[in-house]
Structure 1
Amino acid sequence: MNERRDATTGTAEPMAGGGRIDPATDAFIAHRNLLFTVAYEMLGSAADAEDVLQETWLRWVRVDREQVRDPRAYLVRITTRRSLDRLRTIRRLKEDYVGPWLPEPLLTAPDVAEDVELAESVSMALMLVLETLSPTERVVFVLREVFSISHEEIAAAVGKSSAAVRQIAHRARRHVEARRPREMVSPSQTRVALESLQRALETRDLQGLLDVLAPQVVLVSDGGGVKQAAPRPITGADKVARMIVSGIGKAQVALTGEPTVVNGNPALLLRVDGEIDGVIAVRVEDDRITGLYYVRNPQKLTRIASETPLTLR
């Protein structure tokens, strides 16, 4: 018995009779991980990215593929259009979201962490910066700066002229550069900072937290109205450290941290009394944590049990 693959999930299924997967399915499966990465970087949500892939597949199977010279480019174009439509809808929904909104964390394989360009592009810190762009700016930035797609291809995908796309790309790049981390730190530097954070959290060590947090650290916590979280970002090492230590103490729980890799970068999986409570991703500069991103919303923790494949190619 042979195998076929479900085009939208990429999972293998038995196929009897020696049948062959059709070319449309072959092409979609070959580029599925790329399409998911494109959609996720544009949307910051795995669930929405999966919906976009489903829509892309339904559109793809109706295409006259004899007229398609480059299946990869065509599929990326469909995914981009569907993502842009959904991004505009999500933007409106986020206005009613309870508390700060953080991207959905993904457990990723070691090869993602080894790809510096990919790891930076899906890092929680950069994904948050992308949230400050308009939908069109975000799509153009992701396609141009992350996936190196030509201005002409982007123009065809977003329905604008090449000249307009160049202007949007320049504006988006300038916006992102002004807000992204000043320098990239190595995974080992991030792990060292996370180890210090983990020890301080588990022992409720106020001074330990103050030592690892930068003076102007920003804590963003996302409970989605389901789990308790700060209603707005908290700035300042003293405020952040005291709030954390006080919160753990008042709850009278056993808090433990487990090193993991989320969005291609070192992170901590936190458990309260043995149950998963959330994921902490960090932004590190000059060996100290300048950004703490704590995702507690259970609806955003469905992708931390198994690895999600990502790729730029």
Structure 2
Amino acid sequence: PRGDIVLKAFDQYFKGRPKVDKIILRHIADPDVAVAAFDAGDLDMVQIPSPEVLERYLQDPNVEVSMTSGLNLNYIVLNNKMPPFDDIRVRRAICHAIDKEALFATILKGIGVDLTGPVPESANFYESDVTTYPYDPEKAKQLLAVAGYPNGFNTTLYTYVSRISVDVCVAIQDQLKKVGINVDLKVLEISAWADVVVTGTAPMVFMRITRPPDPDEFLTPVVLSTSDPQWNFGHYSNAAVDALVEAGAREVDPEKRSQIYSWVQKIVTWDVPNVWLFSDVVATAYRPYIKGFKEDPFWNTLINEEVYIER
């Protein structure tokens, strides 16, 4: 078992001595146990693990909640080398067949925000002006018919054991069925899931990654062709995207990097190699006597020099 980590205020900190004398970081592996400890008054802060807990704390006058969009991608990898996913019309049809608003309303319930492309909104140089694919099942059927699949097709989607990922994939399975795409959903333990994913032969894979805020941290593994098959499991390849991603990694001027990454996101969302679903919302519950706390998208429960106690 892991012990507590005790942090003490450093008098010579360059921004001035912290306002909190001591912080105890307590590792509790089971999130339900952590929530119970917070409810019992044994913890001053706790990370919120589920929509149900978030909803309860938002209604509790004795609890403060800080939330922000996380630095992560939840998406479905489409195998761009495998029919029918090698046809952009099929990939776009799948996007139009998925009702993300329904996922937010019925499953995620406040712990997910819309993901429009390969860079989450909390990352640096996020571009919002990209091609999106609103829920439109009739358009999905039309695209499938034009692509040569008027009656749809059968395929397989792999995911790992996790309540959110499984619930989301079951909902997507039902939504795709409405446009004629029959999905055989395979739910595997994480190690077995990884064994399948790394082969690069799966038709569809539910994927989640968390990275630091620089866009290169997302783009290099997810869309760079030379990352196939280490991370680019769908075998997406676009020479223009490769050149731009590599240029962005070398560039030091922020304005030039912004332009480069804007183009990358525009091209990738047009090509739609994957189905971009959502980013997790990271949220922390804490007691009202804790002041100055603000959720950080990467570090989550970060106690900085602005936090103080007022009882």
Shorter chain as denominator, the TM-score bin is under 0.3
Query: What TM-score do the two structures reach when normalised by structure 1?
Result: 0.23
Report which structure shows greater RCO (CA 8 Å, sep ≥6).
2
